């Protein structure tokens, strides 16, 4: 089955700096790669996703890149703000199959 590895587990950045979180996956059949932001005690919120027919996707300060050959994808947050502080999860699936989550990255943005 699919296995998703996520790094780093914790990340601290100064406000205004960029943050990068990386994930690798094992199943070459996976074709859907979402990123979720989860605040304490709340549900995961989809912040951006990418499908295997695209190499990069951007939405304002957030971007995701996908390298299908190497089976890894990354989340990039630019101009970080304190409200970006949360736990971020990557996931992988074949679209309509269950999501397999990475272990999460706790991002702290220091003002």
Partner 1 sequence: GAVVSQHPSWVICKSGTSVKIECRSLDFQATTMFWYRQFPKQSLMLMATSNEGSKATYEQGVEKDKFLINHASLTLSTLTVTSAHPEDSSFYICSADSADEQFFGPGTRLTVL
When asked if residue 95 is in the footprint of partner 1 (CB under 8 A), the reply is yes
When asked if residue 99 is in the footprint of partner 1 (CB under 8 A), the reply is yes
Kindly state the DSSP code that residue 83 receives in the 8-state scheme.
G
When asked if residue 101 is in the footprint of partner 1 (CB under 8 A), the reply is yes
When asked if residue 73 is in the footprint of partner 1 (CB under 8 A), the reply is no
Q: Comparing C-alpha atoms, which of 64, 61, 47 is closest to residue 17?
A: 61
* Residue numbers 34-53 binding partner 1 by CB under 8 A: 34, 41-46, 49
Give the CA count within 13 Å in the CB-facing half-sphere of 74.
13
Separation in Å, CA 15 to CA 77, 80, 97: 11, 5, 37
DSSP three-state, residue 110: strand
Binding residue for partner 1, selected from 23, 33, 104, 109, defined by CB under 8 A? 104
As measured in angstroms, the least distance from the Cβ of 35 to partner 1 is 13
As measured in angstroms, the least distance from the Cβ of 61 to partner 1 is 20
Query: What DSSP element (H or E) covers 45?
Result: strand 45-51
Binding site for partner 1 (CB under 8 A): 32, 34, 41-46, 49, 89, 95-96, 98-104
């Amino acid at each position: 089955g699919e296995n998703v590895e996520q790094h780093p587990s914790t990340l601290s950045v100064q406000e205004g700096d960029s943050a990068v979180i990386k994930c690798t996956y094992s199943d070459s059949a996976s074709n859907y790669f979402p990123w979720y932001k989860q605040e304490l005690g709340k549900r995961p919120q989809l912040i951006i996703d990418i499908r295997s027919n695209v190499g990069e996707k951007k939405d304002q300060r957030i971007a995701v890149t996908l390298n299908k050959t190497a089976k890894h994808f990354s989340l990039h947050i630019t101009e970080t703000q304190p409200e970006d502080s949360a736990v971020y999860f990557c996931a992988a699936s074949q679209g309509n199959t269950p999501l397999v989550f990475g272990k999460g990255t706790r991002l702290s943005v220091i003002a």
